[in-house]
Amino acid sequence: MNVRGLTAATAVALLAVAVGGRTWATGATATAVLKFANGSDAGTIKLTEAPAGVLLKFDLKGLTPGPHALHVHETGKCEADFSGAGGIYNPLGAKHGFLNEEGPMAGDLPNVVAAADGTAAAEVLTTFFRLSKETEDTLFDADGSSLVLFEKADDYLSEPEGAAGTRVACGVLKAE
């Protein structure tokens, strides 16, 4: 290998180390601690404002195996049957679902899939909302927002909540 080739290879290696080690700036953060209707712990979902949207990192437990709908809801209230959480967060008046030509709602999220042991851990990026308290349609308005988990998968089309069945867990979104 000649010196020129070695220099180029070294530059690429240093660039890879520099980029790989970079700490990306993040903005606001929030957390929702999800509880089942009986009050037992269903896990946490951490939200972090990023340059490309909001990153949701969830670590859930106690779920029935298989897919479950997950939505951001318009009210930060998680009592009894979780109906107090209101509808899916929808400041623009869109229709429900990723497969709906007039959708999705801002609070629509991909299904969460629980393993055979009832756990689910993953990261999802959404571009449909931001965490900033300065925006007109903030999740942190006077009545707050929540994350609601459903018993079945979201079909990404049916109104109002994707034929996902009963609300099984809920967590109020708290800014950090």
> SS in 3 state form for 89-121?
CCCCCCCCCCCCCCCCCCCECCCEEECCCCCEE
Domain range summary for the chain, segments of one domain joined by + = 29-175
Q: Which residues contact 29 (CB under 8 A, 6 or more apart)?
A: 46, 47, 48, 49, 131, 175, 176
Q: Which two tokens mark 82?
A: 């979780």
Query: 150: which 2 tokens?
Result: 């459903």
pLDDT digits (tens, 9 = 90+) for 126-141: 999 888 887 777 888 8
Q: Does pLDDT of 105 surpass 70?
A: yes
**H or E stretch including 12?**
helix 3-20
Spell out the CATH class of 29-175: mainly beta
Predicted structure pTM score: 0.83
